[in-house]
Amino acid sequence: METVSGKDLQNRILVFSGLGNRVLAEEIATFLGVPLSPTLIRKFTNDNYYVQLGTSVRGKDVFVVQPISPPCSDNLMQLFFMLDIARGAGANSIHAVIPYYSYARSDKKDAPRISIGARLIADLVVAAGATHVITMTLHSAQVHGFFSVPTDHLTAHSVFVRYFKEKIPDMNNVVVVSPDIGHAKRALKLAKALGVPAAAGEKRRLSDNRVIIDGIMGEVRGKRVLLVDDEIATGGTIAEVVEYLRGLDVTQVSVLGTHGIFAGDAVERLNKVPEIEEIIVTNTVDIPPERRPRQLKVLSVAHIFGEVIRRNVMGESVGALFEFWPMPDDQGW
Amino acid sequence: METVSGKDLQNRILVFSGLGNRVLAEEIATFLGVPLSPTLIRKFTNDNYYVQLGTSVRGKDVFVVQPISPPCSDNLMQLFFMLDIARGAGANSIHAVIPYYSYARSDKKDAPRISIGARLIADLVVAAGATHVITMTLHSAQVHGFFSVPTDHLTAHSVFVRYFKEKIPDMNNVVVVSPDIGHAKRALKLAKALGVPAAAGEKRRLSDNRVIIDGIMGEVRGKRVLLVDDEIATGGTIAEVVEYLRGLDVTQVSVLGTHGIFAGDAVERLNKVPEIEEIIVTNTVDIPPERRPRQLKVLSVAHIFGEVIRRNVMGESVGALFEFWPMPDDQGW
Amino acid sequence: METVSGKDLQNRILVFSGLGNRVLAEEIATFLGVPLSPTLIRKFTNDNYYVQLGTSVRGKDVFVVQPISPPCSDNLMQLFFMLDIARGAGANSIHAVIPYYSYARSDKKDAPRISIGARLIADLVVAAGATHVITMTLHSAQVHGFFSVPTDHLTAHSVFVRYFKEKIPDMNNVVVVSPDIGHAKRALKLAKALGVPAAAGEKRRLSDNRVIIDGIMGEVRGKRVLLVDDEIATGGTIAEVVEYLRGLDVTQVSVLGTHGIFAGDAVERLNKVPEIEEIIVTNTVDIPPERRPRQLKVLSVAHIFGEVIRRNVMGESVGALFEFWPMPDDQGW
Amino acid sequence: METVSGKDLQNRILVFSGLGNRVLAEEIATFLGVPLSPTLIRKFTNDNYYVQLGTSVRGKDVFVVQPISPPCSDNLMQLFFMLDIARGAGANSIHAVIPYYSYARSDKKDAPRISIGARLIADLVVAAGATHVITMTLHSAQVHGFFSVPTDHLTAHSVFVRYFKEKIPDMNNVVVVSPDIGHAKRALKLAKALGVPAAAGEKRRLSDNRVIIDGIMGEVRGKRVLLVDDEIATGGTIAEVVEYLRGLDVTQVSVLGTHGIFAGDAVERLNKVPEIEEIIVTNTVDIPPERRPRQLKVLSVAHIFGEVIRRNVMGESVGALFEFWPMPDDQGW
Amino acid sequence: METVSGKDLQNRILVFSGLGNRVLAEEIATFLGVPLSPTLIRKFTNDNYYVQLGTSVRGKDVFVVQPISPPCSDNLMQLFFMLDIARGAGANSIHAVIPYYSYARSDKKDAPRISIGARLIADLVVAAGATHVITMTLHSAQVHGFFSVPTDHLTAHSVFVRYFKEKIPDMNNVVVVSPDIGHAKRALKLAKALGVPAAAGEKRRLSDNRVIIDGIMGEVRGKRVLLVDDEIATGGTIAEVVEYLRGLDVTQVSVLGTHGIFAGDAVERLNKVPEIEEIIVTNTVDIPPERRPRQLKVLSVAHIFGEVIRRNVMGESVGALFEFWPMPDDQGW
Amino acid sequence: METVSGKDLQNRILVFSGLGNRVLAEEIATFLGVPLSPTLIRKFTNDNYYVQLGTSVRGKDVFVVQPISPPCSDNLMQLFFMLDIARGAGANSIHAVIPYYSYARSDKKDAPRISIGARLIADLVVAAGATHVITMTLHSAQVHGFFSVPTDHLTAHSVFVRYFKEKIPDMNNVVVVSPDIGHAKRALKLAKALGVPAAAGEKRRLSDNRVIIDGIMGEVRGKRVLLVDDEIATGGTIAEVVEYLRGLDVTQVSVLGTHGIFAGDAVERLNKVPEIEEIIVTNTVDIPPERRPRQLKVLSVAHIFGEVIRRNVMGESVGALFEFWPMPDDQGW
């Protein structure tokens, strides 16, 4: 990974990390040519957090890297503290870098007396002091609008495209499949970039971790499938889709997800599916060894975060890095 | 339409209307058993608005009915003025009743340096004084989360279900079709309520008013089609889908849309499509005679708005009227 | 018009324009030595705005030029969108340059249940993202206080003074007349700068576009009159005053107004008044050819806006350009 | 003064007073049929305020009566404390009743780097906890728009009209004079109500307490003059106008002002002017005996404040009590 | 415990509980004569919360009971969700009942670049929707001022006084000891109520869970000691003080703390101290069996919370229940 | 006092002063190498303030120096005006430098229906425009958390330590005494820095200016006493403590207080106490000659304020100047 140079940048910015994903934070800092600034994170005996930033932030542009990955409540609280400290200590600007914004799934009110959690957390992040948010691949694009401060919504699209263009020279028999009609846009975009057709499952959710696939819209029989989702949690959806595909003579499946959680018995479940050749995720979430399925391959997105930080500080356009910047031929004007 | 009784309710509420849809406002007021309160809306010679509410609002619960239908900017400005007046004149609570929230389509940042218009307008509605919002069938469910005040997001679902159950006793050959995979949830819900299958078009948008249908996921050949969309603007999408369906031996199409705009040459375009038996919309938008296609049928949703107002004031649960309240068998817990 | 130089300035600022007055915006940009940045402003078929700024604003000082001239609601909505976009796209500061703030006339509550429109619009401009406002010749000076962000209230006074000093070498027989006692301050200031006496009409407003002049306080018989108002809308007031002056043997009238609207049948009405030699307005409003009375002369104020922008960015005092900066001999301390 | 009855009202409201004008507060409370609730106001030895409200305010509508009369800073601070206490102690609504809002004179930016004090104080009153403001005869009507909470702007007009209709049966020779063209509206309104002509002085302000009258627009020679101003501070303007009127054979002057301050050597100055028959003010300000000129007559406005409070709590329209409610024949629609 | 009656109260209020302390919430609800309303609290497989309130809250006064006891981050997050839901679902008022506000210990900035956690959490509680806070025995009284909404700060004082008056008829040899000079006020208040002397330790904190007692100010030799603290976390301070007291011939110690956490090896440590006869805490925190030292006695404060809720809703004064309401003879005026 | 150099600093900052303590403001400006910018502060005849800043603040970092010393309400009002002007005139940042924040004593709610004055004033300071606060030795450390903007809480500790190390070479017989157990931390810190023991009085407050000393915890008999308090108001506490010490054979007392008010008959009272050798305060408050006791010695803290300003503007860490930065051996981690 190439290091950005530029004394000016390095005098202005500080990168801090909570306990959520220090490895990614280190990579981002390295890309920017600065050290990761030290952070002290402890709990008092009454389980309250005590957080201290280890470097003076007065007048600096402060970037706090913290995904909302499990343990989510603790990771959020650390983020709130780090943002508040930067505000109270006179930072020039305060950027919440949230590679995985898990609450994006709580994006609508589909039952009475529930919270639109993605909006609540967005409001709390701002109340805690964030003046800017950087995140990647929100479950739905609309969640962007929940933030009341400028927000950069990045995509790992380019990383996946590059990977498959190298890996599969002949795309003749390939199809990109989205498990869910309701979120098929991301799969369509990948299909278009690879020059292959797309299909989508008719997914019905029975509960948080039980879904049924009622059918597949589009032609998949006998093809090599790239199965695309935004996040892989229990692997239940993936397993269901592959089972359905099995009945359609599909034997070769690559699973792609920006965010890899592998919660519950995901590892066990995915390890057992023979058709899955590989599972490709990015490093937005730090996956401990025991939660890594055998087929796992992790691609780094640190350079994307690093580049958007660099452009923010340098006052350059960041649009090209965004999740929903359309393909040129999508634009009607 | 039955009139709600209840002296207490009638002493507490006032219903006002802008110029957007006075007919609907009248119907809602009638449902609630109150007169529609007078509003004076003029323009000065410099094209500035002069708005006056005709009844003292001090201590009252004020409901301002105004869809953001064309002319949108003028209708919005009237809404802002009416809300601001109610606030300044000491209303107890101020409810923006926006039957058609057209800006819901601007729900994400899919190009650089654009606004998420649905969030901007939501913020302005609140800045102008709304303490509560009531709306119907937002283009995407997430837009609910753009409002920083309590928001009731209603659905016309029950009206459409009742209509078709009466109209088509034998549903054997019926299929519900969504023109767009990305918004197929609403069609699936209707299909489920009618006990029929669903299908979805692979819509590609070339520009605001030009789309191409690349295919249909699901079985539709030779069936009687209920084509469902949230709003019908130029009719371009509808016409494209029907043309595609024609190739699949479909000869009988009912078009459903909560919001009927019929902008541009929609009337001419839709009038020319022989397969379209009827076009069913609700009265969230006031459609002038010259913008009504020959097949148009308008169903009233005034009782849904009236009932949610009644329950709000009476402190009763309103969940059952909501857009995204799931079917009982959707709930996993 | 001389162009300001200064690389630093030109690297920091961007000037955008809505559809309100692109000519003025161009002139301001030229004064500042920068190109007018491109803006895409379209309407969707449902009459919603789609607005896009054509240049990256990240870290820039963004100036959005847009008068609230007819069509006022549309022009306001464009302004709201442009401000919101600049905020969401990470501008350093966001300046609403509103050469003609028409809603300033709605500055008090002189009837029950009306809005103080000038305050409402000021709040919406700030809610949409403005961090600073630049405007000219508000109908009343107090409207300045309606804005909750720093506001520069400019005057075209210097432009009018220079014009008349050149045009009328001998001011012996000249009198400056205000149509309205309630807003005579501006006329007094011009009279003092020209070294001539002032007079004021006793105007009684019958309706928005009908006034009666009950009398003139001050000596005007047989004099050459400079008739001063802040804006010229229908020309009704002007015509009434001139008719009254006719009875006092006045045969030569110059009409001055900062903002020229010429709404309704203003052109026809003003064209018919023989005593009116010329009508002098500034270019705060873009007057289409068909709305220009025969006597019209337009003076540019682009350099005043340009200079205040330059001083804002450069951190220089701007007081000398303000509407209400008093004459030295007005200051009592 | 008649006492309002109504158990409900009396259970809901509490009236508190600072040290500004306890007599008026007592009268308002009496009108409403409630006792004035006790307030403890002390200063610590370090000159800090210690304020305590003497009655539980939980769930009550709290009205705090306090003019911003001298000592203005202390009276303001008391007001801030009383509002904040009511908020912190759980009042249902908090009403700042400010009979004399002296800072209304600081209503525009007529010099560089000054504050629009009337806006600043309005913001602080709201920041301290006021949810509603009631005031009387603001120096300019626009100041109403400086408040971001609902504000009732009352007038003493009816009190003056009644007084003069009783006192002067034959109004033939009467003229109402405003010292200042810029604020002649109030005088015109009184003149119209009494059926007499109006005139206005051309006042030039040399300093805060020195003005020059350059002339009078309108016919006053030999008439009986009602000289109307919003507040009487040093009496300097009054004295100057009367001196000018003396040259026009005026020998009988009644001076009217809503707010009587009589600061500096006002008493001495006014006592010396033989033409002044009487000086009529209201009791918005508590005038100590040593500051009362010999011709002083004080009319009570407690019933106006009491009535507006009653109507606010009872949810009745209050428009008829407002400063700027126009005469019926002023309304053009 | 006596049950409050009052149909009106019971129609207006709803009591909800997170997972923090359902037993206390049940007791409070019972005191108020209402059932504890159901709450569904789940975690998704990605460790995000899914919270649903089980009863319609529209128009109700909602009381959410949740101490910030371990697991603190999860308990906080549940609280945020419950408050946000109540807001979004149209509650009339939203009361965060936080019996144990653990973050009150983070009340000052005694190191660089730390957060004043008690202020941060207070701001987040308000951002999440609380319109009122009820809490008990904050670590320092000043934390009350961190909340920007009305806050009732209760005390368990009356419960402790009643307990000891019953238990120890002869107080002759008793002394109340505070471990820390800096927080001796609470001990002094108890001492005064029991009519006994007080003493205070000179505590020096080495780390979060290690302190040293340098001495005791006041006479304790051979006495029966009531050792008072606001919370008992690891018991380290208690153990250190008792060890010091042992050297002063103290053999009989009762330990009192409003909040009992018993974290880490507190149970083991306290069980080993023979001088400790009993450890008396309240039920603000739900202590699981395995964390209860052998000498533990828990006193209920549910009636205090219940009574303050009742008075809030009924609009009665609640002062007598407050932590810092002074003894009558403390008041100097 | 050494002058800081640095052209950059001097181009960016402006120092203004109200009437509170111009001498200190001058010293701070001198330290920073800039002139004190002129401020015009007048009162109108109606006792309203008229304030004008004498230098253009556009784009500057503005520091307004004003203690809340008597006359407190007037000094606060001046501060509000200066902050508001800086905001309205386009300052880059606005720093309220409040050397003596007297309202810090009102830090808790120890009686019903009082205000937490320190929070109220903090909110008003921010509402008036402050974006940053610099203050010194707040009565309690928690008051820091009342400010919603970044706040630097400075200490005069270093000044007192240096003074006594020079003055008393042999500290063998010295003891530092705090009059009040509840605020003994500050005395302990000084004792530790001087390497001497500490003691604390058991102070009971009868009223604002009457206290009783019930005893002294710690060994003081016959020692040389340094009596430490945060502010010296009436001297009543000091006199009581010294009287008590007299009974313990103490004959030599130095009194230290950061803030010297000397209100009421403080001078007379302190002059009469023979044991008081000297009274050492800082210049946070400007003490007029007639309020200076004979033993007074004033130490300057201008360099501390100057240095924190310099570091703020230069983006350097300021922690070392803070009140509550702990001694190295206080830190447990």
- SS3 string, D66-111, reads CCCCCCHHHHHHHHHHHHHHHHHCCCCEEEEEECCCHHHHCCCCCC
Let me know if residue F64 belongs to a domain: yes
Same domain, D136 and D201: no
pLDDT tier for residue E207 given thresholds of 50, 70 and 90: low
Whether pLDDT at E168 is above 70: yes
For residue A176, being part of any structural domain is answered with: yes
Q: pLDDT digits over E87-144, tens only?
A: 999 999 999 999 999 999 999 998 899 999 999 999 999 999 999 999 999 999 999 9
Q: Which of D132, D317, D333 sits opposite B56 (nearest CB)?
A: D317
Per-residue model confidence (pLDDT) at position C218: 82
- Region C195-208: mean pLDDT is 79
**Residue B316 to residue B309: CA distance in whole angstroms:** 10
Domain identity same for D167 and D118:
no
Q: Which stretch of A79-88, B121-130, D12-21, F174-183 has the lowest confidence by average pLDDT?
A: F174-183
Kindly give the residue spans of alpha helices, DSSP state H, lying in E42-145. Answer: 72-88, 117-127
Are the beta carbons of A121 and A89 closer than 8 angstroms? no
Q: Is the pLDDT of residue C189 over 80?
A: yes
Give me the half-sphere count of Cα atoms (radius 13 Å) on the Cβ side of residue D256: 22
Q: CA F85, CA F81: separation in Å to the nearest integer?
A: 6
> How many domains does chain C contain in total?
2
Cis peptide before B71 (omega within 30 of 0): yes
At B333, the pLDDT band (50, 70, 90 cuts) reads very low
Please, what is the average pLDDT of chain B? 91
The total number of residues written for chain E in this structure: 333
Cβ neighbours of A56 in F, within 8 Å: 316-317, 319
Residues in chain A within 8 Å Cβ distance of F94: none
In total, the C-beta contacts within 8 angstroms joining chain A to chain F are 23
In terms of DSSP H, where are the helices of F33-89? 72-88
- F92-126 residues labelled b (16+ CB within 10 A) or e (exposed): ebbbbbbbbbbbbbbbbbbbbbbbbbbbbbbbbbb
Q: Confidence class of residue D316 from pLDDT cuts 50, 70 and 90?
A: confident
Q: What is the mean pLDDT of residues F293-309?
A: 97
> How far apart are the two ends of chain F, measured CA to CA in Å?
37
Residue D203 designated active-site: yes
pLDDT at F262: 96
Whether E176 contacts E197, CB under 8 Å: yes
Question: Which is higher by pLDDT, E127 or F207?
Answer: E127
Residue B118 pLDDT exceeds 50: yes
A125 lies in the same domain as A199:
no
How many CB atoms are located within 10 Å of the residue D81 CB? 27
Give me the mean pLDDT over the C30-38 stretch.
96
What is the average per-residue pLDDT within C245-258?
A: 96
Cα dist. D230→B132, B137, D183 in Å? Answer: 40, 54, 9
Domain that holds residue F267: 157-299
Q: What is the pLDDT of residue C212?
A: 79
- Same domain for E312 and E216, yes or no, is no
Chain C hits for F88, CB-CB cut-off 8 Å, are 150-151
- Give residue F209's pLDDT: 66
Cβ atoms of residues D197 and D208 within 8 Å: no
pLDDT score recorded for residue D206: 62
Residue B2 has pLDDT above 50, yes or no: no
Whether the ω angle into residue A71 lies within 30 degrees of 0, i.e. cis, is yes
Residue A137 phi, psi dihedral angles, 5° rounding? 45, 70
- What average pLDDT does the segment A286-312 reach? 96
Q: What is the mean pLDDT of chain E?
A: 91
Answer yes or no: is pLDDT of B270 > 50.
yes
pLDDT beyond 80 at C202: no
Catalytic residue among F60, F189, F203, F223: F203
User: What percentage of chain C has pLDDT greater than the value 90?
Assistant: 78
Q: Which of C45, C51, C56 is facing B209, going by the closest CB pair?
A: C45
Q: What is residue A1's predicted lDDT score, i.e. its pLDDT?
A: 37
What is d(CA F76, CA F68) in angstroms, rounded to the nearest whole number?
6
Same domain, C98 and C239: no
Whether omega for the bond prior to residue F328 falls within 30 degrees of 0, making it cis, is: no
Mutate to test the interface with F, among A51, A56, A58, A84 (most CBs of F within 10 A): A58
Of the candidates E163, E190, E83, the residue with the CA atom closest to the CA atom of residue E128? E83
Whether residue F107 contacts residue E145, with contact meaning beta carbons closer than 8 Å, is answered with: yes
Judge whether A270 lies within some domain. yes
This prediction has a pTM of 0.94
Q: Does the pLDDT at position B332 exceed 80?
A: no
Is the per-residue pLDDT at D326 higher than 80?
no
Same domain for C230 and C280: yes
pLDDT at E233: 92
Order of strands across the sheet that contains B252-260: B210-217, B198-207, B174-178, B224-232, B252-260, B276-282, B296-299
Catalytic residue numbers of C read 203
Active site residues of B: 203
Residue D200 CB-density burial (10 A; 0-12 exposed, 13-18 middle, 19+ buried): buried
Using only C-alpha atoms, what is the Rg of chain A? 20
Task: State the average pLDDT for chain D.
Answer: 91
Same domain, B31 and B76: yes
pLDDT 10s digits, C74-108: 999 999 999 999 999 999 999 999 999 999 999 99
The reported pLDDT for the residue numbered E325 is: 42
In this complex, whether F and B touch, counting 3 or more CB pairs under 8 angstroms, is no
Lowest mean pLDDT among A253-257, B298-302, D108-112: D108-112
Q: Which band of pLDDT confidence, cut at 50, 70 and 90, is reported for residue B1?
A: very low
Q: Is D286 helix (H, G, I), strand (E, B) or coil?
A: coil
Where would I find the beta strands (DSSP E) of B137-197? 151-154, 174-178
Of D318, D333, D237, D313, residue with least CA distance to D276:
D237
Is E71 found in the same domain as E21? Answer: yes
Q: Compute the nearest-CA separation of C66 from chain F (Å).
A: 21
Nearest to C44 among B49, B69, B208 (CB): B208
The answer to whether the CB atoms of A56 and F150 lie below 8 A apart is no
The span from the CA of A128 to the CA of A120, in Å, is 12
Question: How confident is the model at residue B55, as a pLDDT?
Answer: 93
Do residue A208 and residue A278 come from a single domain?
yes
Q: Provide the greatest CA pair distance for chain D.
A: 61
How many other CB atoms are found less than 10 A from the CB of residue C5? 9
Average pLDDT, whole number, for chain F? Answer: 91
Is the confidence at residue F214, as pLDDT, over 60?
yes
Name the interface residues of E facing B (CB cutoff 8 Å): 40, 42, 56, 58-60, 87-90, 92
Residue C317, pLDDT score:
81
Instruction: Report the C-alpha gap between F237 and D45 in whole angstroms.
Output: 13
| E47 to A263: CB separation less than 8 angstroms, yes or no | yes
Nearest to C18 by CA among C59, C48, C63, C57: C63
C247 is a domain residue: yes
Provide the token pair at F68.
């809340």
Residue A236: inside a domain: yes
Q: Report DSSP state, residue D28.
A: H
Please compute the mean of the pLDDT values over residues B303-318 and round it to a whole number.
91
Do A162 and A276 reside in the same domain of the chain? yes
Q: A94 with A87: CB under 8 angstroms?
A: yes
pLDDT tens profile C288-301: 999 999 999 999 99
pLDDT at D99 over 50: yes
CATH number at residue A202: 3.40.50.2020
Clarify whether residues E271 and E184 are in a common domain.
yes
Single-letter residue type at B257:
G
In a domain, residue B327? The reply is no
**D146-203 pLDDT, tens digit each:** 999 999 999 999 999 999 999 999 999 999 999 987 777 788 889 999 999 988 887 7
Q: Quick check: E191 and E178 in contact, CB under 8 A?
A: no
| The pLDDT of residue C209 | 66
Question: For the residues C128-134, what does the mean pLDDT come to?
Answer: 98
Contact between D277 and D295 under an 8 Å Cβ cutoff? The reply is yes
CB contact under 8 A, B124 and C120: no
State the amino acid at position F273 in one-letter form.
V
- Residue D123 scores a pLDDT above 70: yes
Q: What is the pLDDT of residues F32-78, one digit of tens each?
A: 999 999 999 999 989 999 999 999 999 999 999 999 999 999 999 99
Q: How high is the pLDDT of residue F118?
A: 98
Check residue F34 and report its DSSP letter: S
The angle that helices F117-127 and F72-88 make with each other, rounded to 10 degrees, is 30
- State yes or no: pLDDT of C178 exceeds 50: yes
Q: Is the pLDDT of residue E299 over 70?
A: yes
Distance between A89 CA and the closest CA of chain E, angstroms: 6
What is the sign, positive or negative, of the torsion defined by CA atoms of B145, B147, B152, B153?
negative
Same domain (yes/no): B152, B11: yes
- Confidence at residue E255, expressed as pLDDT on a 0 to 100 scale: 97
pLDDT value, residue D327: 36
In a domain, C326, yes or no: no
What's the pLDDT band for E208 if we cut at 50, 70, 90?
A: low
Distance of CA E185 to the CA centre of its chain: 16
CB contact under 8 A, E145 and F118: yes
Closest to A175 (Cα-Cα) out of A198, A201, A202, A200: A198
The answer to whether position D279 is within a domain reads: yes
Is a pLDDT exceeding 50 seen at residue D1? no
CA distance A79 to D75: 44
